[in-house]
């Protein structure tokens, strides 16, 4: 039986050419695997037919939009995950769901190898291959660009020579990855980190310089999951899409950052994540009134480590699972409503309410009805500062000797 290789297939030039390129280099049959994670654009059937037209013996396509929102975006939201405090893990969280379907397709079609279109200097090669090693440890991995010398100019020449049904004259200088959680843009003139991004690179967001009238929105959560927008029940996927539309119209969620890649280099990235950033902002503000102080402080540390693990391709790792358990437990009381105004590139919270809130008006007020016993404060301060007071006395005593 001829060896079979499953290929993570986007429908673009590089992965379309990779079908034939892999076949010629290895003698194997190629099964193209396309996964919809809410990236928009062409239909799965169009992509399927293109894969077959480029020489794939089979084409596995999956609409994983709801799966991606429920099982990948929601945990990211519960963690308030922002790598290095900026990046909402747009690409990082889509790779594990694609890996899941790659391994499933490999089992279904009897493939022994999984291929992806990543280069040797990015993060995604690690995310794909570590995920595949974990879910399918018997499977081998290859990367045509990295392992089989498939460069951009060779891809164009190969497509023209074979008459492949794919556009080969793209003038777009950027590398773009997108899904429902956001959009990532890199390379081209952006590699000079002094260059400001031009308006043409944005798609999910309108310019915030001349915004429409302010848009006030109320987001309702149950146990950390967004369940309603302005009182209308929604699924997580619907919530993300609706806020992509409304926050995007106000220019919310534009991010320009130089981040530390896993492979050890710094990379300039432009992100658009209007829905993700609006939801993370709302969720964090709801946690501010529903999480106990020490729990909230420690969760911030856990969220940072969670973000690093996911960025580094460790979605399926034991530590990630353990952190998931902690984060999930913290969400027990994260139920309530957040009101925010979307305008001019900002998502500003101006109201919050929850039946499980720890905010006590009678303790917080300075007006009549204040139930806080201020006589307790003097003794509390004495005890709180005792260790520092004793240490300071020691320092003064020693310095005087």
CA–CA dist 237, 226 (Å, integer)? 9
**Digit-coded pLDDT (tens) for 221-260:** 999 999 999 999 999 999 999 999 999 999 999 999 999 9
Q: How many angstroms separate the CA atoms of 96 and 178, rounded? A: 15
pLDDT of residue 185: 92
Residues 249 and 185 grouped into a single domain: yes
Q: Evaluate whether residue 387 is within a structural domain.
A: yes
In the structure encoding, which two tokens stand for residue 200, read together? 């043409």
Please identify which residue in the block is written with the tokens 């004495």.
Answer: 382
Last residue of a domain, one of 172, 197, 227: 172
Task: Compute the CA torsion angle 52, 53, 55, 61 (nearest 10 deg).
Answer: -20
The closest of 283, 258, 289, 312 to 360, measured between CA atoms, is 289
Q: Are residues 31 and 158 located together in one domain of the fold?
A: yes
- Residues 6 or more apart whose Cβ sits within 8 Å of residue 186: 174, 175, 267, 268, 269, 270
Domain termination site, one of 113, 147, 172: 172
Total count of residues recorded for the chain? 401
Phi, psi of 266 (to 5 degrees): -95, 145
Binding residues for ATP: 8-16, 117
**Based on the domain organization, do 27 and 165 belong to the same domain?**
yes
Statement to judge: residues 250 and 330 lie in one domain: yes
What pLDDT is recorded for position 369?
81
C-alpha dihedral sign at 280, 285, 286, 289 = positive
- pLDDT number for residue 169: 55
Residue 256 lies in a domain: yes
CB of 7 within 8 A of CB of 146?
no
Give residue 77's Cα distance to chain centre: 9
Task: Tell me, yes or no, whether 364 lies in a domain.
Answer: no
Across the beta sheet with 113-115, the strand order is 58-63, 29-36, 4-8, 113-115, 140-142
Alpha helices of 1-80 — where are they, by DSSP H? 13-26, 44-53, 65-68, 74-78
Please tell me whether residues 148 and 52 are part of one structural domain.
Answer: yes
361 part of a folded domain: no
Q: Binding site residues for L-citrulline, as ranges?
A: 87, 123, 127, 175, 259, 271
- Chain-centre distance for alpha carbon 264: 20
Shared-domain flag, residues 251 and 391: no
Last residue of a domain, one of 172, 198, 230: 172
| Pure H helices in 204-316 | 236-249, 274-290, 293-311
* CATH number, residue 141: 3.40.50.620
Which CATH number covers residue 290?
Answer: 3.90.1260.10
Q: Is there a single domain that holds both residue 151 and residue 123?
A: yes
Task: Determine, yes or no, domain membership for 276.
Answer: yes
Residues 146 and 28 in one domain: yes
Mark the binding-site residues, compressed into ranges.
Answer: 8-16, 87, 117, 119, 123-124, 127, 175, 259, 271
With vertex at residue 241, the alpha carbon angle to CA 333 and CA 130, rounded to the nearest 5 degrees, is: 75
The answer to whether residues 291 and 319 belong to one domain is yes
> Exposed e or buried b for every residue in 113-151, given b needs 16+ CB within 10 A?
bbbbbbeeebbbbbbbbbbbbbbbeebebbbbbbebebe
Supply the range of the domain harboring residue 232. Answer: 176-353
Domain-embedded: residue 279: yes
Same domain for 267 and 157: no
Q: Are residues 272 and 139 in the same domain?
A: no
The pLDDT value recorded for residue 365 is 86
Is 365 among the domain residues?
Answer: no
Q: What is the CA radius of gyration of the chain?
A: 25
Residues of the chain with pLDDT under 50: none
The answer on 266 and 137 residing in a single domain is no
Q: The whole model's pTM is what?
A: 0.94
By annotation, the residues acting in catalysis are 14, 95, 124, 175
Whether residue 241 lies inside any domain: the answer is yes
Q: Name which of 108, 35, 89 is nearest 66 in CA terms.
A: 35
Contact yes or no for 285/250 (Cβ under 8 A): no
The structure tokens 């003139």 sit at: 189
pLDDT in tens, 170-190: 556 688 899 999 999 988 889
The total of structural domains in the chain comes to 3
Q: Directed axis angle between helix 44-53 and helix 13-26, to 10°?
A: 40
């Amino acid at each position: 039986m001829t060896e079979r290789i499953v290929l993570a297939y986007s429908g673009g030039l590089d992965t379309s050419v990779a079908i034939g390129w892999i076949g010629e280099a290895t003698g194997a049959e190629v099964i193209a695997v396309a996964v919809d994670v809410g990236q928009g654009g062409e239909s799965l059937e169009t992509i399927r037919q293109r894969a077959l037209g480029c020489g794939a013996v089979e084409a596995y396509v999956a609409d994983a939009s709801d799966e991606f929102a429920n099982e990948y975006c929601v945990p990211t939201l519960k963690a308030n995950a922002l790598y290095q405090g900026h990046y909402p893990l747009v690409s990082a969280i889509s790779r594990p769901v694609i890996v899941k379907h790659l391994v499933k397709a490999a089992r279904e079609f009897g493939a022994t190898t999984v291929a992806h279109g990543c280069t040797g200097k990015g993060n995604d090669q690690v995310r794909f291959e570590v995920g595949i090693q974990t879910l399918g440890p018997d499977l081998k991995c290859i990367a045509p660009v990295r392992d089989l010398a498939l460069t951009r100019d060779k891809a164009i020449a190969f497509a023209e020579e074979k008459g492949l049904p794919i556009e080969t004259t793209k003038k777009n200088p950027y590398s773009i990855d997108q899904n429902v959680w956001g959009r990532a843009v890199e390379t081209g003139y952006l590699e000079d980190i002094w260059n400001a991004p031009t308006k043409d690179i944005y798609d999910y967001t309108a310019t915030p310089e001349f915004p429409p009238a302010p848009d006030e929105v109320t987001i309702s959560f149950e146990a950390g999951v967004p369940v309603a927008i302005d009182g209308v029940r929604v699924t997580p996927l619907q919530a993300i899409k609706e806020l992509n539309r409304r926050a995007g119209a106000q220019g919310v969620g534009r991010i320009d950052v130089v981040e530390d890649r896993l492979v050890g280099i710094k990379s300039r990235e432009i992100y658009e994540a209007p829905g993700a950033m609006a939801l993370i902002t709302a969720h964090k503000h709801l946690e501010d009134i529903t999480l106990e102080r020490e729990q909230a402080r420690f969760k911030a540390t856990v969220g940072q480590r969670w973000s690093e693990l996911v960025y580094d391709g460790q979605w399926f790792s034991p530590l990630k699972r353990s952190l998931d358990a902690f984060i999930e437990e913290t969400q027990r009381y994260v139920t309530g409503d957040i009101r925010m105004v979307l305008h001019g590139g900002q998502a500003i919270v101006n109201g919050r309410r929850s039946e499980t809130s720890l905010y006590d008006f009678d303790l917080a007020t300075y007006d009549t009805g204040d139930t806080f016993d201020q006589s307790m404060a003097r003794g509390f301060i004495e005890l709180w500062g005792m260790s520092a007071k004793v240490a300071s006395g020691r320092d003064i005593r020693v310095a005087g000797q």
